[in-house]
Chain A
Amino acid sequence: MEDRVIIGDKIEFEKDMESVFTLSFIPLDIFDNWTRASSLSDFIAEYFGSYFGNESSHNLISTVINEFIENAVKFTKNNSQPIVVIVKKRDNDLICRITNSIPKHRKTAFIEICKELFSEDLDQLFLDKIIEGSNNKTESGIGLILVKKDYHVKTNFDFFKDNNDMNNVNVTFKLNLQ
């Protein structure tokens, strides 16, 4: 398996932005009290929602960011290593990058999930995952499908190793709020 794997849409993350916001948290806090993921998502939505001047922005931002935060927490390797969230506002877009560690043994499975998002019919993939999930008591496996299928969120997955030879993933996504 290559150390660096990039899958998904091309998103200009480094380009100039009008507003930027960074926070980090440890996954352990979310596992300790799952409503904290929701609190974080609502806070980011509250912070950026007013830029977009319509009532639905808060719900949209919170819904999408919550899915990515929950996903990052569930896939993280080290519950004490911070997950970093950077959110930028540019024109009518909210661009977000979430960085978390990922266990080596789950990296391959996660890469396959990401590839499916860009190669399969998403309606069919949703139905397949629901049926498949009827035998799985925990993971739903539909969060990333829903944000792409129902919210048309552009998404990019960048798997890389850091200086400590630990596997990480940058999940970058762009939500249009026009």
Chain B
Amino acid sequence: MEIKQDKYIIAYEKKDRLVKMSGTLRLQDKDEYREIFELLTKAANETTGLPLTLDMKELVFLNSSGISSLSLFIIKMRQLDKDITIKGSETIPWQVKSLSNFQKLYGKVQIIFS
């Protein structure tokens, strides 16, 4: 399952329990992120026992509306007691500076930088 636009791709690989996010995600508001939120929720619902991995290593930009929408997804995972792993890139400044916010929302979020 994939959401593909000019500036970004969100690809869900069910067998790998993986959602890969790449490109530039700067949509206008949270409502615009709804389709991505729904894809993430579907991926989480289909993942049991092991963590769902969000691979953001190639996500060059994410604006505050995107961080807000992902935060709401993380809160939903906390309510469902789901495990989430986020893979980030230590060469992308916004990730180094802001990914830890997701951990503050839900202590079971694991963040791995490479």
**A86 in the interface (beta carbon within 8 A):** no
Q: How large is the interface on B (under 10, 10 to 19, 20 to 34, 35 or more residues)?
A: 20 to 34
B34 to chain A, nearest CB (A): 8
Q: How far is it, in angstroms, between the C-alpha of A62 and the C-alpha of B61 when the chains are bound?
A: 9
Establish whether residues B91 and A35, one from each chain, have CB atoms under 8 Å apart when the complex forms. Answer: no
Q: How large is the interface on A (under 10, 10 to 19, 20 to 34, 35 or more residues)?
A: 20 to 34
**A160 in the interface (beta carbon within 8 A):** no
Determine the main DSSP class of B at the interface with A.
Answer: helix
The residue in chain B whose Cβ has the minimal distance to the Cβ of A55 is: B91
The residue in chain B whose Cβ has the minimal distance to the Cβ of A71 is: B64
Q: A38-B24, A134-B72, A137-B30 are in contact. Are A60 and B93 (CB under 8 A)?
A: yes
**A133 in the interface (beta carbon within 8 A):** yes
Q: Which of B14-22, B43-51, B80-88, B97-105 contacts A (4 or more CB under 8 A)?
A: B97-105
User: Of the candidates B30, B65, B75, B93, which one forms a contact with A63 in the assembled complex, judged by CB atoms under 8 Å apart?
Assistant: B93
Q: Give A residues with C-beta under 8 Å from B.
A: 34-35, 37-38, 55-56, 59-60, 62-63, 66-67, 70, 123, 126-127, 129-131, 133-134, 136-143, 146, 150-151
